[in-house]
Amino acid sequence: MSYQFPDDSCTLHTDAYELSMMQTYWKKGIGQRRAVFEAYFRDMPFKNGYAVFAGLQRVVEYIEQLTFSKSDIEYLRTTNQFDDDFLDYLKDFKFEGSINSAVEGELVFNNEPIIQVDAPLMVGQLIETAILNIINYQTLIATKAARIKSVVGTDPVLEFGSRRAQEMDAAIWGTRAAYIGGFDATSNVRAGKLFNIPISGTHAHALVQAYMNDYDAFMAYAETHRDCVFLVDTFDTLKSGVPNAIRVAKEMGDKINFQGVRIDSGDMAYISKRVREMLDEAGFPDAKVYASNDLDEKTILNLKMQHAKIDVWGVGTKLITAFDQPALGAVYKLVSFENDDGKMIDTIKISSNASKVSTPGKKQVWRITDTGDGKSEGDYITLFDEDPQAQDSIYMFSPDYTYINKTVDNFEARAVLQPIYENGKLTYDLPSLEDIKKGSQARLNLLWDEYKRDLNPQIYPVDLSQNCFDNKMEIINEVRDYVNKLNF
Ligand SMILES: Nc1ncnc2c1ncn2[C@@H]1O[C@H](COP(=O)(O)OP(=O)(O)OP(=O)(O)O)[C@@H](O)[C@H]1O
Ligand SMILES: O=P(O)(O)OC[C@H]1O[C@H](OP(=O)(O)OP(=O)(O)O)[C@H](O)[C@@H]1O
Ligand SMILES: O=C(O)c1cccnc1
């Protein structure tokens, strides 16, 4: 409802506590100190072997508009939670600092930084909510889409989810994420316009209901369109829908481009086989069978196992809502902060659950590829100034199970976190969506199949360098000493 506030911005798209902390930092004089925050998720979404990163374009769009408008500040004043001097400061606020990030379409894994903000404390704090909001959703949908694409193989798969998405933004950005993850087209016309995603679609039951019979409906559609896919299940797929689709296709001949029929209910394995036979017998071997109805990777795989004769898959609800796992759960943690003397001190968040203990320090993620077979050996997390490329071999070990280790000799190390903003300036050229999609596919080709299967994949190694591991242990011990000395 930005019409209520013509100068509305997304800067207040943040949790109130971020602004409350900002005020504290500003008033206590630590707001301009350098702070490094990193975002990561703890568990692989859908128990998949990899996740497909998406959301960076929207993060950039958000950062580019990051100023407090007049109405933003006036609103904050009405809350009575902020002092006038702080609100005056916000009038001149702008993004300062640097952001390194995985690029869209990159494969990312749990417990490794996927976005890193190195900025004044106040700035890094303010943008937490929006960054997590964007990447949590888009990465989840891109990953779900990749799972679905992995079972459809080379068959076209269409995104049909807008009507069931969690509101309009989710439909638009979810569609884009699905395209990155491997979908071929969308039914959402605005997503087509905004992102140049191919649009595609058939027609709904309403058309047939309006005519109250399949023949008249298909004929009306055929007379007003060239490319025709008829929805054949409104009354009776095999007795009425398909025979009438064939009749119209024959009667209209070259006047239309009869592309096929869509089925949307019933036993899709059985029905698709009968539909295929009917189309073939009628002389339409190239007509395709489209299918939709609550599909996801499990149902599609099962239908393929049953040798269903389905050529094109329409997937909505279960993709766009990430039905079986509605949240990625990425978090954003302070990993390093400038002390009174201007020195960076690495910070930690301790938990009794070992997997929830954050890894201190500004880090880089390296994708280690074997130069022999060209396949990814795993990811290697180092402190930011380490350079594994300068080493002859690297010792990789699991931080949780240190007895799982290996030494890699012939390798290439590619930095996963790329510079996006440097000292407040956008330095990254946002690639085209087509390039993002192709890049994602190319990266998937470097992954062993064992990490790509959709059920119980092998766990991809995400290891810490010795320096990074030792730094973490040292800081855990320091915190333990500090807590033990407390006398409450
Ligand atoms: N052969 C099949 N094997 C496995 N799953 C199937 C098969 N055929 C259809 N399905 C799936 O089973 C579910 C059946 O849905 P549902 O019980 O709503 O039946 P329906 O035919 O869609 O009914 P309605 O007429 O109300 O739409 C859908 O998710 C569909 O994708
Ligand atoms: O099942 P999904 O994966 O979410 O795919 C989208 C669904 O949306 C449409 O149904 P809907 O009942 O909304 O409209 P209709 O009147 O055309 O059947 C379509 O026929 C699909 O069943
Ligand atoms: O074009 C279609 O067939 C379509 C579009 C949206 C939802 N369900 C189906």
- What ligand 2 atom has the least distance to the C-alpha of 204? 17
Token code pair at residue 31? 């707001």
Cβ contact 417:113 at 8 Å: yes
User: What's the total number of domains in the chain?
Assistant: 1
Cβ contact 186:197 at 8 Å: yes
What is the Å distance from ligand 2's center to 246 Cα?
23
What is the Å distance from ligand 2's center to 436 Cα?
29
The answer to the question of residue 351 being in a domain is no
**Least confident range of 86-90, 112-116, 433-437, 475-479:** 475-479
What is the Å distance from ligand 1's center to 298 Cα?
13
The answer to the question of residue 38 being in a domain is no
Task: Give pLDDT tens digits for 451-486.
Answer: 999 999 999 999 999 999 999 999 999 999 999 999
Pocket lined around ligand 1, Cβ cut-off 6 Å: 265-269, 293-295, 299, 302-303, 306
Q: What does the mean pLDDT of the chain come to?
A: 97
Residue 352 above 90 pLDDT? no
What is the Å distance from ligand 3's center to 277 Cα?
24
pLDDT-based confidence at residue 386 (cuts at 50, 70, 90) = very high
The answer to the question of residue 165 being in a domain is yes
Task: Give pLDDT tens digits for 160-206.
Answer: 999 999 999 999 999 999 999 999 999 999 999 999 999 999 999 99
What is the Å distance from ligand 3's center to 201 Cα?
6
Residue 411 above 70 pLDDT? yes
* Best mutation site among 200, 293, 296 for ligand 2 pocket (most ligand atoms within 8 Å of CB): 293
Cβ contact 392:409 at 8 Å: yes
Instruction: Enter the pTM of the model.
Output: 0.97
Residue 148 above 80 pLDDT? yes
Domain with 241 in it: 148-321
pLDDT-based confidence at residue 436 (cuts at 50, 70, 90) = very high
- Average pLDDT over every residue of 310-314: 98
* Best mutation site among 163, 175, 264 for ligand 2 pocket (most ligand atoms within 8 Å of CB): 264
* CA gap 173, 115 in Å, rounded: 19
What is the Å distance from ligand 3's center to 160 Cα?
5
The answer to the question of residue 338 being in a domain is no
**Least confident range of 194-198, 217-221, 392-396:** 392-396
The answer to the question of residue 245 being in a domain is yes
More confident residue, 351 or 102: 102
The answer to the question of residue 411 being in a domain is no
The answer to the question of residue 115 being in a domain is no
- What ligand 2 atom has the least distance to the C-alpha of 315? 3
Task: Give pLDDT tens digits for 239-295.
Answer: 999 999 999 999 999 999 999 999 999 999 999 999 999 999 999 999 999 999 999
- What ligand 2 atom has the least distance to the C-alpha of 293? 1
The answer to the question of residue 203 being in a domain is yes
- What ligand 3 atom has the least distance to the C-alpha of 229? 3
CATH of the domain at 191: 3.20.20.70
